[in-house]
Amino acid sequence: MRKGILFVMTAPSGAGKTTLLGGLLEEVPGLVYSVSVTTRPPRRGEADGRSYHFTTRAEFETMLAAGEFLEHAVVYDHYYGTRRSVIEKALAAGKDIILDIDVRGALQVMEKGYPGVFVYIMPPSMRELERRLRGRATDAEEVIRKRLSLAREEMGYAGRYDYIVVNDRLAVARGELKSIIVAERQRAARNADLIRRIAGK
């Protein structure tokens, strides 16, 4: 059985990543989502275990000290992290898994040499990103300015990723993400058993 592939996807807040990934998970078979652990409170419509695993700061720090996280970050004064066991269990079962994390988390995964395919989702422009953030009507002005400043900083790391997808038109961006997944699944290096089986060797 082919081992699963870890897809690490990053985007600035407001770039439309949540909508993109939701459609992708519905349309691409054999693809699962890694639910991160966070200490931030749930937003309207979010459910524990589906959007995030919500926990306390004390519980998070206990898991962190025990080395349970593949990556973690503090974003807007809240912890976020990915449990290593969740990723390794999915990959061992042959499932491709999407890890939705920020730049700092992605860099940790890269620096640990953990095998993955890294995709950065960008807005078409900073002006459009600001328009989307304001259109959500969920953040105060100070928070919006902070998000825009962080987005500019994080985009400076986009060149370290394997792929860039610009989310201008949703259907096009989703198609590009699907193409990346299909191409990575077909890599010869990932399909040695299939090659041997067909070739009769």
Q: Is there a contact between 69 and 83 (Cβ–Cβ < 8 Å)?
A: yes
pLDDT reported for residue 142: 84
Segment 68-115, tens digit of pLDDT: 999 998 877 899 999 999 999 999 999 999 999 989 899 999 999 999
pLDDT reported for residue 16: 85
Strand order in the sheet with 96-100: 31-33, 96-100, 6-10, 117-122, 163-166
Measured CA to CA, the distance from residue 31 to residue 110 in angstroms comes to: 21
- CA distances to 7, 33, 81, 140, 174 from 178, rounded to whole Å, are 11, 15, 25, 35, 6
Give the residue with greater pLDDT, 125 vs 140: 125
Cα Rg of the chain (Å, integer): 18
Q: Is the pLDDT of residue 138 over 80?
A: no
* Whole-structure pTM value: 0.88
Band (144; pLDDT cuts 50, 70, 90)? confident
Q: Is the pLDDT of residue 148 over 70?
A: yes
